[in-house]
Amino acid sequence: MASVPSLAATLHQCLAEALSASVPQETPADWLDPMLRRSDRADFQANGMLALSKRLKSNPRELAGTVVESIPANEEIASVEVSGPGFLNIVVSDAAVLRNLAARSDDERLGVPYAESPGVTVIDYSQPNVAKEMHVGHLRSTVIGDAVTKILEHRGETVVRRHHIGDWGTQFGMLIQYLIEHPHELDHASDTGDGRDEGEAAMARLNRLYKDSRSLFDSDEEFKARARDRVVALQAGDEETRRLWHKIVDESKTYFQAVYEDLDVEILDKDIVGESAYNDDLQQVVKDLESSGVAVRSEGALCVFFDDVKGPDGTPTPLIVQKSNGGFGYAATDLAAIRDRVGKLQADTILYVVDARQALHFRMVFETARRAGWLPEGAARQLAFGTVLGKDGKPFKTREGESVRLVDLLDEAKQRAAVVVREKAQDLTEEEIQERAAQVGIGAVKYADLSNSMTRDYVFDLDRMVSLQGDTSVYLQYAYARVRSIFRRAGELRPQVHPMLALEPAERALALHLDEFGDTLTAVAENYEPHKLAAYLYELATLFGPFYENCPVLKADSQQAAENRLFLCDLTARTLREGMTLLGIRTPERL
């Protein structure tokens, strides 16, 4: 079904045409913006006449009056009046509101439009490191990346996920050499547990391997020399070295998958493309950059210099593509990845969901790729995110000053959520309580992250996150469950639209907000701002409260009013579920 224009979009077009008819023909088209927005004085307010009259050197109130006279007869506007110095206060008809919502309800996408020109977006997020535990620092990249991916796919974009895991470098010589000398270190026990058990066991083996190999590397110079030789063998493709490297990587993937399942994020094996995937391309990257003059040799290293990037002493700070000893750093791998994503994957846009502290690195990488002709102007963007803080306002750490393990954080969230669910549970079994606790706890963690602008730091406070009060996912989930409970008590009553019925104020407020869902999602997708979807959903749940309290559904004055209100309940539930699904959050039918 075709998308459903919002009432705001319809009114905007109507007013723009009236503006055009009210001014001289030579008036530039980009001046004719009615500047329509929601208002607490009417349903909508348009104040574009003030800016336009200033340009035309005319009286804004007189221009507003002329615009009103130029508005053609229509079924959307119930009243329009000139206010103040030249504002237009517009009230739409109840019938128009209900007709628009009926059209949304008839569409499985709730009338949300697809992108006019969808393209191919490669999104790089999560980025855990092989043989290391995922910590709270991986939370934001994973949750934001997953939500942005879902939102873009919903819009019709072709999205290619890329999890650029750290699976290459000098530490693997150390790990592999130790594994050669201790061949049973990664042997599997006879695990019969679930994915979480296997993941925990995999991580325990990796932790043991890493700690023991690091201890030996630091204390035994002969082992250190053998480990460095093993790096050369790995890079050269030695068969036994590569076999053991694969064993370490596969063990890590088992662990990663368990964490992702816990976080309720789908990661497919084909999406995991580590640094190693670009190893064979690095020499060509160096050759092309040097031959084109984009990069130059400086003290033996291959560097790219920028006029506006300097160190504290004022000397230029370069992007080092190849070290003086011939080794490669992150820049070379990132440049090879860009060439692959634009050249082979045909990406129109590449998004990097990466900590804001790496902004300078990515700015230099993008500019280098642009100079080399590998990256079209503006095709790559870092979705930079802030830091997760503790209640003390400092980066979130354990009491010992270590990074908080992600699995521990998720476990605690589910435990806190279980307390809330058990307090509210009336007829849930213990198994159902634990299932809901997982949905509520993980949802709470995700929503706390996504409801903040990604560039901002935020405080990780589980007590607030799992609260039924305030801007939390639990509040939204409870609103959804409350709507669904109405339907369990509705008997034979079914949702149905009756456009000729007058709407109560709480009904109008809820209905007009429901009509904004498509416009909200379009803006969220275009600007990569999931926090604005979270804000929309919170306001929707908040508006449902007065509606629920003041507009009886099952005990309405007439069957038509009951059916109308049940229709609003149904569309509210569907909109909440759709929006929260795009944020990666579950909506339990009962809480």
Contact 92, 499 (CB under 8 A): no
Query: How far, in Å, CA of 59 to CA of 396, rounded?
Result: 57
Q: Return the structure tokens found at 253.
A: 């993937």
Q: What is the C-alpha separation between 581 and 579, in angstroms, rounded? A: 5
Contact (CB, 8 A) for 388 and 457:
yes
* Assigned token pair, 91: 């009230």
**Where do the H-state alpha helices sit in 35-115?**
48-56, 60-70, 94-105
Output the pLDDT for position 186.
82
Element (H, E) at 388: strand 388-389
- pTM for the structure as a whole: 0.93
What confidence score (pLDDT) does residue 195 get? 66
How much is the pLDDT for 198? 82
Cα–Cα distance for residue pair 446/521, rounded to 1 Å: 18
List all residues 6 or more positions away from 245 whose beta carbon is below 8 Å from its beta carbon: 172, 176, 234
Q: Are 518 and 113 in contact (CB under 8 A)?
A: yes
The CA R_g of the chain, rounded to the nearest whole Å, is 29
Written as six digits, the tokens of 6 are 């919002």
* Residue 319 bridge partners (DSSP): 304
User: Can you give the pLDDT at residue 326?
Assistant: 85
What integer pLDDT is reported at residue 315 of this predicted model? 82
In the predicted model, residues of the chain with pLDDT beneath 70 are: 1-2, 188-195
Q: Helix 406-424 vs helix 137-155: angle between axes, to the nearest 10 degrees?
A: 70
Question: Is 452 in contact with 534 (CB distance < 8 Å)?
Answer: no
Q: How many CB atoms lie within 10 A of CB 290?
A: 15
pLDDT in tens, 228-254: 999 889 888 899 999 999 999 999 999
Alpha-carbon distance of 51 to 89, in angstroms, equals: 16
Q: What pLDDT is recorded for position 193?
A: 54
